[in-house]
Amino acid sequence: MAVSHREMPLSLDALNDDILIYIFAALSIPDILTLRQVSRRLSLLSRQYSVWHNACKSEILHDDIPFPRTPLTSLTAKDLERQTLRAYKLGANWRSPNTKLYHVTEVATKSETIEEIKFLTHREQNWIVTISRGIWSDLYLRDCDTLQVVAKWSPGKALFNGMVLNTNHDSDAAIAIAVQRNGVMSVEILSLSHHDQTSGVEIQSVAILDTCHKPIALRGDLVALCDHDSETLILDWKTREQCLLKSPETWKDKALHVIFAQGSIFVVRARSTCVFTEPMMVSQGNDLPITLPYAFASFGWVDGVALALRPSTEFHTTSPFQASLSMLVRTKGDDPWRLEDQFKFLTYNATQNSRSHSTSHHDTPAIDNDTGTFPFTAISSLCSPHQGSLRCSDMVLGSYGTAVWVQPADWAMAGLLSENGYLHYIPAAPSKETLVVAIFPGPLNRGSSEACIKVSFENSGFAWSCLDYDEERGLIALGSNFGGVTMFRL
């Protein structure tokens, strides 16, 4: 006897697990979350690693949404689901016309100025590092969620003069920090020891470098040490092999950034930007050849410079944005009473450069700025109000083209003014510094050439002194002049 279709109702429960996994692979992330509510079996299948591995690749990585650089294969199914959902919300928030910024948490510490604050990822664990200064300097390692201190490092009666974190998250060295004791400068390399049984962390000094230069970058075992004029020493802190880069001679040209990218080294200073071919390292004690830049430019006096490498992922698919490195420059005009700052967004393409200058210090570096062959190309600009004193000069640019900075409070005219022989009191107009979150041309902006401020937050507490931004997790951390730490989440 033939059986009609009405007598054989179709049901998802009648399908085997493999077919259901294929169905999940065809669904969007919101649909996966909806389907898991149908039955207990579907709920269990929706939590499989393969479901979220596929969802992460198709809707996060292929769609150019920031995602932590941890290899997907190193994550458990639960962690992969959690990070994929967080990235999906982050991407939707960025691409929304009404981007939201959430004030997550805030802690008040001792009334010591927080001079630096950095997000630290080391061996798949995340922390925040702060440097506080009272009479002496102290380094604190904080929990990312609660902001509570989990470890402290202090070499005694010493002052810190600069700190950098390792871009290689699996390296033995996590931090390089400049230390001044009894008037003597040195750079210490710090490592982190994780104690799984007690969930504790210990900060240890594993090397001391006798140098008066300041650490500007740390990549694996290589630390970039800079003076305040023109020299950049690249040193392997384990083998002590080194090389010397020399920027054009300028006066008090403070080093801001050193970036290693595609066989080149970018050295950004307050009044010069140079690109070097990454030279061979030589053993300590041998004659140290000097490498000169093959490209150079100056943006004049600047209030800040931020650099970011393009996302290094095989799933990056946004064709309009192919630059290997981006730069954001906040220009500093001659008029201290100007009404706005200008932020210039530029990109660099490695294929435009192939020349190398590795010669003695008697030669003159190649300056290509006048010929227009400097490899950075201006893409867009953005103006932001600025009428006050810039206390927090930190500015962070992410790989996907997002950026954060602090807009200072306005200058205010107040006091006693004379008019026709009479004195009148002019009260100060209320004004607050503001956290600014902006987006520039890049993967997250879907190839748009327009830059815009997405969201801002007025500070009602103590004056901010430093900030850092983790684009992949959508986190912003700020330190204050009075020891407070504030966290925001996008």
* Residue 58 forms part of a structural domain: yes
**pLDDT value for 367:** 38
**pLDDT value for 292:** 92
169 within 8 A of 121, measured Cβ to Cβ: yes
- List the structure tokens of 141: 């390692």
* Residue 392 forms part of a structural domain: no
Q: DSSP string of 198-259?
A: TTEEEEEEEEEE--SSEEEEEETTEEEEE-SSSEEEEEETTT--EEEEEPPP-TT--EEEEE
User: Across all residues in the chain, what is the average pLDDT?
Assistant: 82
Separation between Cα atoms, residue 487 and residue 147, nearest integer Å = 8
441 within 8 A of 377, measured Cβ to Cβ: no
* Residue 76 forms part of a structural domain: yes
Tens of pLDDT, residue by residue over 80-101, are: 999 999 999 999 999 999 999 9
**pLDDT value for 198:** 55
* Residue 70 forms part of a structural domain: yes
- Parallel, antiparallel, or unpaired for β 395-397 and 357-358? unpaired
pLDDT at 299 over 60: yes
Tens of pLDDT, residue by residue over 336-365, are: 556 677 888 988 876 554 443 444 333 333
Q: What's the average model confidence in pLDDT over 321-329? A: 74
pLDDT at 23 over 70: yes
Separation between Cα atoms, residue 366 and residue 141, nearest integer Å = 43
- List the structure tokens of 10: 């179709």
To which H or E segment does residue 146 belong? Answer: none
Tens of pLDDT, residue by residue over 467-484, are: 999 999 999 999 988 888
Domain count for the chain? 1
Tens of pLDDT, residue by residue over 381-423, are: 888 776 667 788 899 999 999 999 998 876 654 444 555 555 5
Strand partners, 116: 131
To which H or E segment does residue 34 belong? Answer: helix 29-35
Tens of pLDDT, residue by residue over 26-56, are: 889 999 999 888 888 888 888 999 999 999 9
* Residue 451 forms part of a structural domain: no
**pLDDT value for 365:** 36
* Residue 59 forms part of a structural domain: yes
Separation between Cα atoms, residue 15 and residue 330, nearest integer Å = 59
Which CATH number goes with the domain that contains 19? 1.20.1280
Greater confidence, 245 or 383? Answer: 245
Tens of pLDDT, residue by residue over 142-192, are: 998 888 999 999 888 899 999 999 998 888 899 999 999 888 899 999 999
**pLDDT value for 30:** 93
3-class secondary-structure state, position 189: strand
DSSP 8-state symbol, 74: G
Sequence-distant (6+) residues with CB within 8 A of 413 are 426, 428
**pLDDT value for 335:** 62
Give, in order, the Cα–Cα distances in Å from 7 to each of 3, 4, 16, 47, 262: 7, 5, 21, 33, 65
* Residue 164 forms part of a structural domain: no
Q: What's the pTM?
A: 0.86
- Parallel, antiparallel, or unpaired for β 475-480 and 184-195? unpaired
- Of all residues in the chain, what percent carry a pLDDT higher than 70? 81
Q: What's the average model confidence in pLDDT over 204-215? A: 92
* Residue 480 forms part of a structural domain: no
To which H or E segment does residue 17 belong? Answer: helix 17-25
For 34, the domain range is 15-95
